[in-house]
Amino acid sequence: MPSFRVETPQGCYNAIVERGIISRAVEFVPAKSGKVFVVSTDDVWRHQGAALAAGLRDVAHEVLYLPGGEENKRMAPLESLAERMVLAGGDRSSVVIAFGGGIVTDMGGFLAAIFMRGIPVIQIPTTLLAQVDAGIGGKTGVNLESGKNLVGSFHQPIAVLIDPSALDTLPEREYRAGLWEIVKAGIIREPELFDFLAERSADVLARTPESVDRIIADSVRMKCEVVSADEREGDLRRILNLGHTFGHALEAETAYRRFLHGEAVAFGMRAAVRLGESTGHLSAADAEKMIELIGRYGPILSLDGIAAERLLARLVHDKKTVRGKVHFVLPVRIGAAEVVSGIDEPLVLDAIRFALS
Could you list the residues that contact ligand GLY (CB under 6 A)?
A: 133, 137, 139, 233, 237, 240
**Strands 336-341 and 327-333: what pairing?**
antiparallel
The DSSP line for 328-353 is: EEEEEETTEEEEEE---HHHHHHHHH
Its sign, for the CA torsion 201, 213, 55, 114, is: negative
The residue with its CB nearest to ligand GLY is 240
Tell me, rounded to whole angstroms, the distance of Cα 51 from its chain centroid.
Answer: 23
- Closer to ligand GLY at the Cβ: 124 or 129? 129
Closest CB 133 distance from ligand GLY, rounded Å? 5
- Closer to ligand GLY at the Cβ: 277 or 318? 318
Q: How far apart are CA 15 and CA 5, in angstroms?
A: 6
Closest CB 139 distance from ligand GLY, rounded Å? 5
- Closer to ligand GLY at the Cβ: 64 or 176? 176
Closest CB 88 distance from ligand GLY, rounded Å? 30
Cis peptide leading into residue 77 (ω within 30°): no
Q: How many CA atoms lie within 13 A of 336 on its CB side?
A: 6
Q: How far apart are CA 93 and CA 91, in angstroms?
A: 5
Q: For residue 223, which of 312, 162, 149, 295 has the smallest C-alpha distance?
A: 162
Q: How far apart are CA 326 and CA 12, in angstroms?
A: 32
- Closer to ligand GLY at the Cβ: 218 or 277? 218
- Closer to ligand GLY at the Cβ: 56 or 104? 104
- Closer to ligand GLY at the Cβ: 29 or 220? 220
Its sign, for the CA torsion 25, 26, 29, 33, is: positive
Cβ-Cβ contacts under 8 Å for 17 (sequence gap 6 or more):
1, 2, 3, 4, 131, 162, 164, 213, 216, 217, 220
Closest CB 353 distance from ligand GLY, rounded Å? 26
- Closer to ligand GLY at the Cβ: 77 or 141? 141
Closest CB 23 distance from ligand GLY, rounded Å? 27
Closest CB 181 distance from ligand GLY, rounded Å? 8
Closest CB 241 distance from ligand GLY, rounded Å? 6
Q: For residue 356, which of 270, 292, 296 has the smallest C-alpha distance?
A: 270
